[in-house]
Amino acid sequence: MGNAQNLQCVNAVASGNLSAYQYCFMYKDTDGEVTMATASTVIDGILQDDPAAEGDGCLLAIGGYSKLVVDGTIGGGIVVGAKLASDAAGKGVVTTTNLDDYGAIAQEASTAAGDIITVLVVPGREISSA
């Protein structure tokens, strides 16, 4: 089970019911509201609480060590130091794809779906093309 420490968070507003997505990757939509990240969005942070309705306040981790829900069954498992992108449900999955966006670096390993691990939050990062 992951832990959180030295978190840098910003106050945000939920775009809808995000109560099932605590510790998942999020991004800010065109209205500036927080919504669940998908495999094709840039990651802005990790949701720290569970807002139940549009307009509810929430905390978005943008730095430090956070918990993250992951799916370690994809890509041969998550190892310490792996770069994590978002899947279609905001969960962290390993990425090594050139120019792929990622939002965290794993600090614990996982080979299961739904594990919660400790990660270093690094939103808006991109794997180098070099």
Give per-residue pLDDT as tens, 23-55. Answer: 999 999 999 999 999 998 899 999 999 999 999
- % of the chain exceeding 90 in pLDDT: 79
* Residue, of 38 and 6, whose pLDDT is higher: 38
pTM here? 0.93
Residue 129 pLDDT grade (very low, low, confident, very high; cuts 50, 70, 90): low
Calculate the alpha carbon distances from 83 to 53, 55, 59, 120 in Å: 31, 31, 23, 10
